[in-house]
Amino acid sequence: MKKRTYLLVTVLALLCSGVLFAAGGAESAASKKDEGPVVISYYTWDDGSHKALIDTFNATHSHIQVNAQILPAADYETKLTTLLSGRADIDAFMEKRQSDMFGQYANGYLEPLDSYIKATGKPNEAVEAFKSSSVINGDIVVIPWRGGAYYTYYNKNVFKKAGVPTPDYYVERGEWTWEKFEEVSKAITAADSKLVGSTIYIWGGQGFFQAGQAGDSIVTPDGKIDSIENVVKQLEMRKRLEDVGAMWSLIDMKVTKLHYSKQFYDGNVGMLLIGEWFPGQMVVGAKDGLLAFDFEDWGITRLPCDQEEYVTVGLPTGNCITSYSKKKDAAFEFINWMSGPAGAAVAASYGVLPAAPGEAARAEIAKNLPKGNSIDYFLEPKRNNTANFSPYGTRVETEFATIQEDFLLGNMTVDQFRTKFTKTLNDIIKTTY
Amino acid sequence: MNTTHSLRKTGTILSFLLPSFIGFLIFVFSPMIGAIALSFTNYSGGPNFRFIGLKNYMVAFTDQNFLSYLLVTFEFMTITVIFQIGLGLGFALLLSRNFKGCSTYRGILYLPNILSSVAVGLAFMFIFEPSSGFMNQLLASLGLPTSKWLASSKSSLSVIITIAIWQNFGYYMVLFIGGLQNISRTQYEAAEMDGAGKIKQFFHVTLPGLSPILFYGLTIAIIRGFQVFDYIYIMTGGQQGGGPAGSTNVLAFDIYLNAFTFFRFGYASAESVILMIIILAVTFLQSHGQKKWVNYDIV
């Protein structure tokens, strides 16, 4: 009896341990049995336009099916890195933080796409439009599908209430500079203290608009510090605006987790400086009844700019193929489609600016933007600088965010900021190995 | 016969311990060895990494940020331990005797401990919201000055410390109630007969009798204090870099940032090894010091 008990307990214990290993194998065993179309595993984050693109591709391509794996946007980069490290079943993925590509490339995770593009017989329009941010060490590693550009989104009602001309008035006269932006922000709040002149979101990269437009790199790809004066200029402007309540406090936004879309939806903010994906969020906001104003009561125009020739900032969003994928051809067909005219049309129907918008996309985008000159500014050809696109980019932006907060809290002078930020940049360069 | 019986007994015991031990090996010990190994490399999440010796450790000890985060961690640990143990002991003394409603009071004070720290963090984040949070509204209605709470580098750490104390002191209270109820009444009677007042009884009967539990509580509180992460992540901006101007950045949070935002897994592993060594050292000192004040003989 005791021997039986001993054996039973031992067997149970081993079974429990065995279950830990067996579960992992079951899924892959099942998937091998699938026949029919080539099924590729594609990772992206939770966004309505991404789902629509995948569904449209699946409906129009019988020989390839995309099995979408959705990760929450907030944890996307972390989870993706963990999955790549574990060699998870990923054939292609969308790159959310573009500077991560340097580390992924160094670790051999990214499949160079030059030969695939060459096999199509023509250059990829989206890659050509954003060449500098699609190539690492001479290899094309990503195919952009969403264009990178920042704009000024403005609420017409707020400007009407404040009795101030809307930003496009100044753009048409060539007067839409950062000084004018500051002036207009203050005028809105001065007219009505319940109105906030403008908002720039909490991400570290949002502090580099002026630097990006001026062509500064902050830290060059080969590890040299570029000028930080434009960063200082923008930060000082931010502090002046926050001190009089004409710009939403960065720290308050961070602490309360107040999203920029909610700020704009609520109808008390005059201007929001954010990227090309925002019309999509406005479309969703309107559909969900979240807007405190009519859809026609907002507009899009250029980012404020001090340069002689207009230039915006922003990196494109693109797709990569994993080097260890066994279905690279199918994966390439999908990401190539997404960057082409058919994918662009679907993206545009969600208010998203495609990397290479064709005529069909332009017509779709126009349906999702307010009437007037917004479509012209949204789609006009423009130069696009990509500040902080380097192996140091992520750390520069995160460390800057912390020092920026110290400055905005009044804990340091401008000179102290310069000293601390420069020292931090030097530390980042020395400790990137 | 005796040997066979003894072997059988050992085998039965081992087979009950085996599942937990395997779990410990796979999920605790192996990752720990892995982290120690990675701390000597420049691992960034992929196969292309190399051995770099003690470079990560040298960088950590010369990094201003690392040292300041260590200081914040010590500050958090020290204050939370003092108040968690102090409040836990105080309420335990009040509630260790049976009186009408004592179970209800014990339950109410212990309740925060069973809540998820993430849920608590989120709830208090809204309560302490600087512009429209409940706390500032309450203070304003009473004519009292309001505060920026989590939006200020001067007050954010204090807010988090307060919440940590509030949520956790109930655990130590329950621990100490158990310890107090195990102290024999005859000890107090003997002390009373010798003319000892309440205060002398506390220092010469209660504290020595409670010392083993106190030692355990202190050890756990210190270890937990060093490991704090969840409140910081939830209440002060998570992936966006922590509290205002880094004022709440503790070492565990810096490890998270370096590992999962910057993908400097090698460096993050070195930081976690340093943290582990610090915790081990403190625990060892405590363990060594217990001979002087922990009394296991009192029944």
User: Does some domain include residue B128?
Assistant: no
Nearest chain A residue (CA) to B148: A252
Q: In B, which residues are within 8 Å of A203 by CB distance?
A: 240
| Chain A closest-CA separation from residue B122 CA (Å) | 10
Which of the pair, B272 or B11, is modelled with greater confidence? B272
Residues B23 and A204: their CA atoms lie apart, in Å, by 40
> Which of 3.10.20.90, 3.40.190.10, 3.40.50.300, 3.50.50.60 would CATH assign to domain A36-146+316-357?
3.40.190.10
Q: In A, which residues are within 8 Å of B152 by CB distance?
A: 409
Which of the pair, A28 or A415, is modelled with greater confidence? A415
Pairing mode, if any, of strands A150-155 and A143-146?
Answer: unpaired
- Give the mean pLDDT of A123-143: 92
User: Does some domain include residue B27?
Assistant: no
- Give the mean pLDDT of A90-119: 94
Q: Which of A229, A213, A154 is nearest to A184 (CA)?
A: A154
User: Does some domain include residue B14?
Assistant: no
| Residue A339: pLDDT over 60 | yes
User: Does some domain include residue B105?
Assistant: yes
Q: Note the pLDDT of residue A3.
A: 65
The reply to whether A257 touches chain B by the CB within 8 Å rule is: yes
Nearest chain A residue (CA) to B52: A433
Is the Cβ pair A106, B236 closer than 8 Å?
no
User: Does some domain include residue B2?
Assistant: no
Distance (Å) of CA B104 to CA B19, B100, B114, B115, B182: 38, 9, 15, 17, 21
B residues 109..128 contacting A (CB < 8 A): 125
pLDDT tens, residue by residue, A51-85: 999 999 999 999 999 999 999 988 898 899 889 98
Topology of domain A150-313+385-430, CATH: D-Maltodextrin-Binding Protein; domain 2 (3.40.190)
Q: Which of B138, B130, B160 is nearest to A248 (CA)?
A: B130
Mutate one of B17, B44, B51 to test the A interface: name it (highest A CB count within 10 A). Answer: B44
Q: Note the pLDDT of residue B136.
A: 93
* pLDDT confidence tier of residue A13, bands split at 50, 70 and 90: low
The answer, as to whether pTM is greater than 0.90, is no
| Chain B closest-CA separation from residue A85 CA (Å) | 5
Pairing mode, if any, of strands A317-321 and A139-140?
Answer: unpaired
Residues B35 and A298: their CA atoms lie apart, in Å, by 52
* pLDDT confidence tier of residue B235, bands split at 50, 70 and 90: confident
* pLDDT confidence tier of residue B99, bands split at 50, 70 and 90: confident
B residues 214..253 contacting A (CB < 8 A): 235-242, 244-246, 249
- Give the mean pLDDT of A263-287: 93
pLDDT tens, residue by residue, A348-396: 888 788 988 888 888 888 888 999 999 999 989 888 887 678 889 889 9
- Give the mean pLDDT of B40-60: 93
Is the Cβ pair B236, A255 closer than 8 Å?
yes
Lowest mean pLDDT among A7-16, A149-158, A319-328, B169-178: A7-16
Q: Note the pLDDT of residue A222.
A: 85
Count of structural domains, chain B: 1
A residues 20..79 contacting B (CB < 8 A): 20, 74-75, 77-78
Whether A150-313+385-430 and A36-146+316-357 are alike in CATH topology: the answer is yes
Is the Cβ pair A254, B240 closer than 8 Å?
yes
Please state at what angle helix B64-95 crosses helix B156-181, rounded to 10 degrees: 40
Q: Note the pLDDT of residue A32.
A: 46
Mean of the per-residue pLDDT values for chain B? 91
Is the Cβ pair B262, A108 closer than 8 Å?
no
Q: Mention every residue, 6+ apart, whose C-beta is less than 8 A from residue A39.
A: A31, A64, A65, A66, A67, A327
Is the Cβ pair A256, B261 closer than 8 Å?
no
Domain boundaries, chain A: 36-146+316-357, 150-313+385-430
The reply to whether A422 touches chain B by the CB within 8 Å rule is: no
- Give the mean pLDDT of A17-25: 51
The reply to whether B19 touches chain A by the CB within 8 Å rule is: yes
Is the Cβ pair B153, A405 closer than 8 Å?
yes
Q: Note the pLDDT of residue B1.
A: 57
Lowest mean pLDDT among A17-21, A352-356, B160-164, B194-198: A17-21
| Residue A24: pLDDT over 80 | no
User: Does some domain include residue B253?
Assistant: yes
Q: In B, which residues are within 8 Å of A196 by CB distance?
A: none
- Give the mean pLDDT of B172-200: 90
Question: Which one of A9, A107, A406 has the shortest CB-CB distance to B47?
Answer: A107
The reply to whether A416 touches chain B by the CB within 8 Å rule is: no
| Residue B296: pLDDT over 90 | no
ipTM of the complex: 0.83
- Give the mean pLDDT of A312-323: 94
Mutate one of B9, B65, B240 to test the A interface: name it (highest A CB count within 10 A). Answer: B240
pLDDT tens, residue by residue, A155-166: 999 999 999 999
- Give the mean pLDDT of B179-202: 89
- Give the mean pLDDT of A289-308: 96
Q: Write the DSSP symbol of residue B26.
A: I
Residue B176, domain CATH: 1.10.3720.10
| DSSP H or E segment with residue A51 | helix A48-60
| Residue A33: pLDDT over 60 | no
Is the Cβ pair A433, B15 closer than 8 Å?
no
Which position has the token pair 């126009």? A366
The reply to whether B20 touches chain A by the CB within 8 Å rule is: no
Mean of the per-residue pLDDT values for chain A? 90
Q: Which of A76, A104, A103 is nearest to A395 (CA)?
A: A103
Token representation of residue A359: 């005529």
| Residue A194: pLDDT over 90 | yes
Q: Note the pLDDT of residue A12.
A: 66
- The residue type at A140: I
Lowest mean pLDDT among A16-20, A119-123, A304-308, B60-64: A16-20
| Residue A7: pLDDT over 80 | no
- Give the mean pLDDT of B1-9: 80
| Residue A309: pLDDT over 50 | yes
Mutate one of A392, A404, A405, A426 to test the B interface: name it (highest B CB count within 10 A). Answer: A405
Q: Which of A326, A306, A314 is nearest to A273 (CA)?
A: A314
Per the structure, the complete domain to which residue B231 belongs is given by: 45-112+167-293
Lowest mean pLDDT among A342-356, B39-53, B61-75: A342-356
pLDDT tens, residue by residue, A209-267: 999 999 998 998 889 998 899 999 999 999 999 999 999 999 989 888 889 999 999 99
Residues A196 and A289: their CA atoms lie apart, in Å, by 22
A residues 221..250 contacting B (CB < 8 A): 249
